[in-house]
Amino acid sequence: MIPGELLIADGELTLNAGRATRTLVVANSGDRPIQVGSHFHFYETNPALLFERAAGYGMRLNIATGTAVRFEPGQQRTVELVALAGDR
């Protein structure tokens, strides 16, 4: 093995299998871009993001770790959220 080498098994990798998901339409009502990271509690995002906020409680973006979604001013997009893991 080479330091830093990744040995990956054959096949497909399914992210967040078995977790509850929901889809929301989100609009940036502000005048600046807003970026939301992969593990940020979506309920607590910038107030300029308009969406059904209660539906984002206990959820995060269903995207790969370390990535983010950027909302440009005036932009509206559909995002998929996934339930946060861990004890509640």
pTM: 0.83
48 located within any domain: yes
Q: Please answer whether residues 69 and 38 qualify as being in contact, where contact means their C-beta atoms are separated by less than 8 angstroms.
A: no
Residue 79 belongs to domain spanning: 21-83
Q: Is residue 87 over pLDDT 90?
A: no
Q: Is residue 85 over pLDDT 80?
A: yes
Average the pLDDT over each of 45-49, 52-56, 75-79, 83-87 and give the range with the smallest value. 83-87
Give the residue with greater pLDDT, 63 vs 16: 63
Using alpha carbons only, give the angle 87, 15, 54 rounded to the nearest 5 degrees: 55
Nearest residue to 59 via CA among 30, 14, 23, 35: 23
Q: Please answer whether residues 55 and 78 qualify as being in contact, where contact means their C-beta atoms are separated by less than 8 angstroms.
A: no
8 located within any domain: no
Distances (CA, A) of 68 to 1, 35, 51, 57, 84: 32, 6, 18, 18, 16
Number of structural domains found in the chain: 1
pLDDT recorded at residue 26: 99
Q: Is residue 77 over pLDDT 80?
A: yes
Q: Please write the tens of the pLDDT for every residue from 42-71.
A: 999 999 999 999 999 999 999 999 999 999
9 located within any domain: no
